[in-house]
Chain A
Amino acid sequence: MKENVVIIGGGIAGMEAARQLLLLGYTPIIVEKKDHLGGHVARWHKLFPDMAPAGDLVRRLSEAISEANIFLETRITSINRLSNGYVVMLSNGVSIPCRAVLGASGFRLFDASKKEEYGYGVYNHVITNSDLEAWFNGAEDPRIVADPKAVGFVHCVGSRDLKAGNSQCSKVCCMTAVKQAIELKERFPDARIYCFYMDLRLFGKKYEDFYINAQQEYGIQFIRGRVSEVGETAEERLQVKAEDTLSGKPLKVQLDLLVLMSGMVCNPEVAEFARTIRLDVDSDGFLKSLDNVGGINRSNQPGFFYAGACTGTKTVPETLAEARAAALDIHRYLLGK
């Protein structure tokens, strides 16, 4: 009989790991709490830097893991240690003994309504990066007016913010903002578009090209200052205040749409099962890798592995690479090497 490997979370990390584990001759069992696979990526429209449809990636991965056991709308009720592995109990009554478990439970998007000064859920034209992706994918959104004259993007919403409880940089949202600014400009060529940033972190392959393009071809304006507050005018336009730190002056501008770049924060659910089997949790609330250089895939417990955004903010290619590495690491572990 083929050996079971339990995978917690059916995002792209869990899916890619399942694909590799199938190839290595195991039976991956994906436990996913939602009613579909793909995690956050299933909600995104086009992925930087190649602008390939996110749906294609999820579809390809789904096809590749048709032979895996997949439990949708299922939660982990408990995990217990055995001398030689774990027993994972599921909300559907199934319990699975196994020698290796992969944590692939991903991240959570920062709840933008917690930053009250930005008016998400209060003013009519404030949305998040995630809302905008859904709109690109065809969802209706009455907050997005038909003919916006001016649009703003607020970087670092809930990231790099000790008051919001997150000191970490979410790392993908600078690039997401530049990408989304370009996509909005393509749809609304007459709109003025501003990005309010503190630092532009465009570290990845081709990211800087997007920045240059955003300036050169699309005329996106980059303003170095964190938005301090948002108000609404009598005409229901948004009034945004920041310091233009490069000219050293307070700045205000009226906008028809404000997009908040909500950050990637830890998934608080993992704290529960982490506690019962004594997995270390890092200072940022993410699951703690054994080390952050050579041991990102490993936890402090034997037989428990990680892939993707459950240990910190990750891009899609990083997540996929980690998932492949984790599958191999699990293989090595199960061979007793």
Chain B
Amino acid sequence: MMDFGFKLSKSATIDLDRAGTERYEKLCALSPDARTCMACGSCSATCTAASFSGMSVRKVILGLQRGQDVRPLLSACMLCGKCTLVCPRGINTRRLILNLSKSYD
């Protein structure tokens, strides 16, 4: 048999009909300001962990809205709070990360 190099891979499409956003909703109950993120990226740009680990509060919030598992991002956070200082929407990002981490315990 010829090997055409095809294999079955998981679809890369975000399927909003199937994306479970329960965790996002749970987070918003504890950190309602999470809903006001405008994806400006200030948090990620200023984050000391970002350039090594890919940590980004923006990606965490977006990931949750899309039903993704964001734990790999969170593990690099040092809870330094720099992101909270720069967020133009005044989101308490540090508390958001804490609330989210607890929800995974």
Chain A residues proximal to chain B, CB less than 8 Å: 117, 156, 160-164, 198-199, 224-229, 241-245, 248, 250-251
Contact = CB atoms under 8 A, between A and B. Distances in A.
B38 interface: yes
Given A226-B40, A243-B56, A161 B88 contact: yes
A162 B42 CA distance: 14
A229 B42 CA distance: 9
Interface size band for B: 20 to 34
Given A163-B88, A226-B88, A228-B86, A243 B44 contact: yes
B40 A198 contact: yes
A162 B89 contact: yes
Given A198-B38, A229-B86, A242-B42, 8 more contacts: A198-B39, A225-B41, A226-B40, A228-B46, A242-B45, A243-B44, A244-B41, A250-B51
Contacts of A199: 38
B89 A227 contact: no
Contacts of A224: 41
Contacts of A228: 41-43, 45-46, 86
Contact of B41 (A160, A161, A163, A226): A226
B47 to A, nearest CB: 8
A221 to B, nearest CB: 16
A229 B44 CA distance: 12
B88 A241 contact: no
A290 to B, nearest CB: 29
A248 B41 CA distance: 9
Interface string B37-78: 011111111110011001010110000000000000000000
B94 to A, nearest CB: 15
B90 interface: yes
B88 A225 contact: no
Nearest to B91: A162
